[in-house]
Chain A
């Protein structure tokens, strides 16, 4: 595809349920990012992958959040035992370069809106 895609676009979960959010980055992009955007806020960094390696997970809010990118392309963000405060839009972004030595433009997907009841 031409851009970053995410699925599902909308997810409603009951409190305590586990959820898995998928991100398909732009083909060939080395870097992949997950952000969380709460209502009325800007996106907040969660985690960063360079290929299959998770180089930074400093933004993950708790050990209930887990992300993986096993083959260096598609990524999954998993949230275990969801809580109401997890309700947010989860944005995935990818960039061609590593973004380590200089900034590389990040291309964002449309997001997954998670609502925890």
Chain B
């Protein structure tokens, strides 16, 4: 049973446009959400996160939106650049019981930004 779902395996956008990557979750105990970016043959690198007490977090070109009632979050990249082409993973943790360390990942979305 996938607790974190990324239903789009791939997304292609033009350079300069907005990229929107989506993520849904089923476990209502998740209280911290993260996006990781992964290039081929490298490990995932942290991009941006959001706590469940917020509905938006922004860092430069990257913004994450959280809709707790819908159990949905999205990552917006504006403007998209060719160097953003990578696999993006959505991840979540359940802080209850002192297990903030345990991340549950989605399957990832391959973003391709075309010049």
Contacts and interface: CB of A to CB of B under 8 A. Distances in A.
Is chain B a partner of chain A in the same complex? yes
Interface string A1-13: 0001000000000
Contacts, number: 64
Contacts of B99: 56, 100
Given A100-B98, A101-B98, A103-B95, A45 B104 contact: yes
Contact of B107 (A31, A42, A98): A42
Interface stretch (A60-68, A69-77, A78-86, A106-114): A106-114
A56 B102 contact: yes
A101 B98 CA distance: 5
A108 B43 contact: yes
- Chain A interface category by residue count: 20 to 34
A103 B30 CA distance: 12
Contacts of B41: 110
A31 B102 CA distance: 11
A69 B30 CA distance: 29
Most B-side CB within 10 Å, residue of A4, A43, A101? A43
Contacts of A111: 43
Given A42-B89, A42-B108, A103 B49 contact: yes
A95 B107 CA distance: 23
A60 to B, nearest CB: 13
- Chain B interface category by residue count: 20 to 34
A106 B6 CA distance: 21
Contact of B4 (A42, A93, A101, A102): A42
A99 B100 CA distance: 5
30 contacts: A33-B101, A42-B6, A42-B89, A42-B107, A43-B44, A43-B89, A43-B103, A45-B102, A45-B103, A48-B101, A48-B102, A56-B101, A56-B102, A98-B101, A99-B101, A100-B98, A100-B100, A101-B98, A102-B95, A102-B100, A103-B49, A103-B101, A104-B100, A104-B101, A105-B46, A106-B101, A106-B103, A108-B43, A108-B45, A110-B42
Nearest to A40: B107
A99 B33 CA distance: 14
B43 A95 contact: no
